[in-house]
Amino acid sequence: MAKDTTEPDFAGEMSEGYGFEGPVVGIGRPFPTDGDPLTEIEVGIPLSLFNRHGLIAGATGTGKTKTLQLLAEALSDAGVPVFAADMKGDVAGLAAPGELSEPVIERRDGLRTAWEATAFPIEPLVLDESDRGVPVRASIAGFGPVLLSKVLDLNETQESSLALVFRFCEENGLPLIDLEDLRAALAWLVGPGKEDLGSIGGVSKATVGVIQRKASQLEAEGGDIFFGEPAFAVSDLMRHTPDGRGVISLLDLDGVAQQPALFSTFLMWLLGEMFEELPEVGDPDRPTLVFFFDEAHLLFKDASDAFLDAVAQTVRLIRSKGVGVFFVTQLPTDLSDEVLSQLGHRVQHAVRAFTKRDVRALKAAVDTFPITEHYDLAEVLQSLGVGEAAVTALDPRGVPTPVAATRVYPPRSRMGTITDAERAAIVSGSDLLPRYGERLDRESAEEILSARLEGDRIRAEQEAERAAREKAAKASAPRPGRSRSRSRRSDDDLAGQVGDYLSSRSGKALQRRVLRDVLGMLRR
């Protein structure tokens, strides 16, 4: 319950303490927990401070996604492009006008806010090859060795070896597009091409084996779908309609919700590309782009320390590019402390405490908020209804504003999914589909190295056949002098045999007989 429910003190602190200038994205109106909303006061986040990052948290069914939807609508109207991860497909309801139902009428009238059913411009994106949106891909080379090392959770030695592989491929015209290309390059450099790295170092078979195994694991978790061409240009996330509204890019993750590695790989690449390509703008009047990552706990579940460090560093630095990042999850404790410390805007929906573990989670959630004298925040967070939240935002000085129990405005778009026919019509009319719809299969490292291996095999076979033919030709050709040599050897052998015979007793007897016969003839 509220510790101080007197309207003048509460309203005075709200109106005087914020000091906001310029347009404000309204979230709702504050209320004492035992009274009606204070309709002359609006709780919101200044448009110019959306690059300070934020958190939308709460138990299942308390209205987190509707708050995301509300903020996306307001940002689009203000000319700010939005990117949102759509885990369950219901954020795509932004594309269709909402219905003026009884709950909407009651909320509209109770908060005294204008409401008109409105459809917003969305661009459905997918990480797979489905027809639910425009495919988003990145090449291995575009991903880079540093980022890939963090995704694969490599140590320093393995990371340096991977960097050598990237350098070798770049210098030798071997495009690294997908994981097959990476595996082919690794196999080449510890096999037939082992000497190719002689001038810049080498890679060991053990290190290559580790990288190969981790690449295969990433592939099994969906990485083979994400890596490829044509690579998605992050500038296509920052588009506007002809009437100046910001386009809301929705990444459909309904089919890959059980593949957190794929989602985290994409997130690291996307934030890294944004940081590298966007210019420094400091604190602009309006953000360049705002990200909303629904079911953010999936990003950090079983994540490596390298991944957590990379996300925290990117979130901290990307603010200067005019980019805001909002994480949507059940509890603040789902995020790492370093990431949580970067999130100045908080929209905390109800927290349910049914078990001792829930009670500990509730206390941890309360500890992440600034101290307030108006509420017992632990009680308030348990008593909030659907579409109500405890809200605090950073003021222009970077100081958190007092926490306000807030009844959230109803979204003007559909609070539910769009039909398959509606989605198909949006996708078929996309300006991006002709550019990214078909996967490009050009010659890359795997094909080039396979062709090189095949060429080496064919040359080796041809050389072996040539050597065999030469050997056969030499064996069958007549060799001069060889028959005379054999004749000489035959004559010598015969002479030796005759000499031996003549030296024998029979030979000597034959000699005497012949000699007598010759002498007898002479006497005649």
SS (H, E, C) 195-232: HHHCCCCCCCHHHHHHHHHHHHHHHHHHHHHHECECCC
Give the other-Cβ count within 10 Å of 439's Cβ.
13
List the one residue out of 268, 139, 155, 145 whose CA is nearest residue 210. Answer: 155
CATH number at residue 62: 3.40.50.300
pLDDT the model gives residue 494: 55
Same domain, 306 and 218: no
Say how far apart CA 32 and CA 151 lie, in whole Å: 46
pLDDT along the chain (524 residues), means of 10: 35 41 88 76 92 92 94 96 90 95 93 94 91 92 87 88 91 92 90 73 84 88 84 94 96 71 78 86 89 80 72 86 92 85 92 82 83 80 91 85 92 94 95 93 90 80 80 72 51 57 62 55 48
SS3 at position 497: helix
Say how far apart CA 302 and CA 320 lie, in whole Å: 29
**Contacts with 150 (C-beta within 8 Å, 6 or more apart), sequence order:** 268, 304, 306, 307, 309, 310
Same domain, 343 and 386: yes
The answer to whether 259 and 219 have CB atoms below 8 angstroms apart is no
Same domain, 168 and 131: no
How many domains are there within the chain?
Answer: 2
The secondary structure of residue 4, as a DSSP letter, is: -
Q: Which of 401, 425, 458 is the last residue of a domain?
A: 458
| 501 found inside a domain | no
Indicate the Cα dihedral angle 267, 133, 135, 305, nearest 10°. 20
Same domain, 108 and 199: no
Same domain, 404 and 365: yes
Same domain, 238 and 304: yes
Same domain, 281 and 422: yes
Strand partners, 56: 328, 347
pTM for the structure as a whole:
0.80
Q: Which of 458, 489, 504 is the last residue of a domain?
A: 458
| 71 found inside a domain | yes
Give the other-Cβ count within 10 Å of 32's Cβ.
18
Q: Is 96 exposed, middle or buried (0-12, 13-18, 19+ CB in 10 A)?
A: buried
DSSP states along 403-416: PEEEEEPPPSB-SS
Same domain, 186 and 267: no
Domain that holds residue 432: 7-137+229-436
Q: Which of 436, 470, 492 is the last residue of a domain?
A: 436
Say how far apart CA 88 and CA 121 lie, in whole Å: 19
| 401 found inside a domain | yes
List the one residue out of 412, 410, 98, 417 whose CA is nearest residue 250. Answer: 417
pLDDT the model gives residue 312: 84
Say how far apart CA 456 and CA 461 lie, in whole Å: 9
| 524 found inside a domain | no
Same domain, 350 and 375: yes
| 513 found inside a domain | no
Task: Give a three-class secondary structure readout of 93-106.
Answer: HHHCECCCCHHHHH
List the one residue out of 222, 227, 213 whose CA is nearest residue 258. Answer: 222
| 249 found inside a domain | yes
Same domain, 334 and 429: yes
Same domain, 378 and 305: yes
Q: Is 417 exposed, middle or buried (0-12, 13-18, 19+ CB in 10 A)?
A: middle
**Contacts with 153 (C-beta within 8 Å, 6 or more apart), sequence order:** 214, 304, 306, 307
pLDDT the model gives residue 512: 62
In order of 265, 273, 280, 370, 442, the CA distances from 328 in angstroms are 18, 22, 26, 19, 39
Same domain, 276 and 391: yes
Q: Going by DSSP bridges, is the β-strand pair 248-252/82-86 parallel, antiparallel, or unpaired?
A: parallel
| 492 found inside a domain | no
| 473 found inside a domain | no
